[in-house]
Structures are given as C-alpha cells and as structure tokens.
Amino acid sequence: AYYSEKQKQHLYSISDEQLRPYFPENKAVNGLFEVVKRIYGITAKERTDVDVWHPEVRFFELYDENNELRGSFYLDLYAREHKRGGAWMDDCVGQMRKADGTLQKPVAYLTCNFNRPVNGKPALFTHDEVITLFHEFGHGLHHMLTRIETAGVSGISGVPWDAVELPSPGMANWCWAPEARAVISGRLDAGEPRARE
C-alpha cells in the first residue's frame, strides 16, 4: 500500500487523501447499490426495525427484479474501540431448505474500519476504501445471491478459498469504470463527480 500510494503520487500528482472529499459515505454507499442494481437488477432496501450490536450498524435486504427477497446484510462501516481491524465479509446465516420446506434466506456481515462522520459532516472515504467496500460487497453478493439450498455449499460455504476471491475483485474493478465513478463520487460541497478524472 505504501509503494502503490507513492507511485500514484508520482504518476498522477495526487494522493488518495486528496480524493477523500469526492467520496462522501452516502454517495459511495448509495452509488454501490446503484451499480449493483444496474448490473444484477438487485435493489437494496434499508430496514431500521432490526436489532443491531451498535447504533452505527445498518441492516439491508436485497430484492431482485421480481421483488423476491434474495438475502440481507448488516453493514458495519466505522472503526471503533474493541473492534477487530481490517475489512471483511462473513456469513451470518446460510441459505438452506429447512425440514418444513421453508427456505431460509442468507444473511451476511459486511464490516469495514473507515473513519466515522465528524462534527455532523458525513464520513469521507478514500478511493481505496471505496474499492474495499466494493470488494467486500462482492463477497456478500456471492453469499446472498446463491440459488443453492443446501447449507454446506450455499453462498460462500464449501467454496475453496481461491475461488471465494473471484467475485470480489470483479466488484472492486467497477470502481475504475467511468459510469460507476459517476454514481459513487461527488464532491461534498459541489456534488460534482470524479467520473472522468
């Protein structure tokens, strides 16, 4: 990360920190959902009536074009005391057909350690953090969009670790596409996207 940041500064005369004002949380998160909707026809809908372990954690459900619930996830974006560092996706509940015939839908945890909002202003992400968000959401989509109904092999379960990493870089690569950058970025004070730069 250190050398890639140095190379970025050398080649483009810009640092990731200088890009932070262009990636306010609401643009990055809502833009991620818009990209997913355009690619997969999946809509994310927030629910506020679900118990969470911290007031900053959010809960979303994913619906397909037929308004079928495909899965849901907890979104825990901010660093805080006693929270493990890094970013990851984990399965909370795997999809499976139960003995009574009902289908248990998958639930995922998407966890990051980004800077939280300060002084009533939204959190600002670096481009690398947005890439991380997309990467982890790629894992989440792998888990939540499964059609497999056997718990041991649905979603990310039973998938070799090298194959688990296939969907996530694909999602992360969308952060470089001009069409995606137009919806994931916008300067906080002006709303202008960084789509072409």
Q: What is the DSSP string of 63-111?
A: E-TT--EEEEEEEEEE--TTPPSS-EEEEEE--EE-TTSPEEPPEEEEE
Residue 143: how many other CB atoms lie within 10 Å:
29
Dist CA 110 CA 108 (whole Å): 6
Locate 148 and state its tokens. 């497999």
Is 17 an active-site residue?
no
Query: Which of the following is catalytic: 25, 61, 129, 136?
Result: 136
| Closest of 141, 47, 43, 152 to residue 95, by C-alpha | 152
Judge contact between 90 and 156, C-beta under 8 A.
Answer: no
Positions annotated as catalytic residues are 136
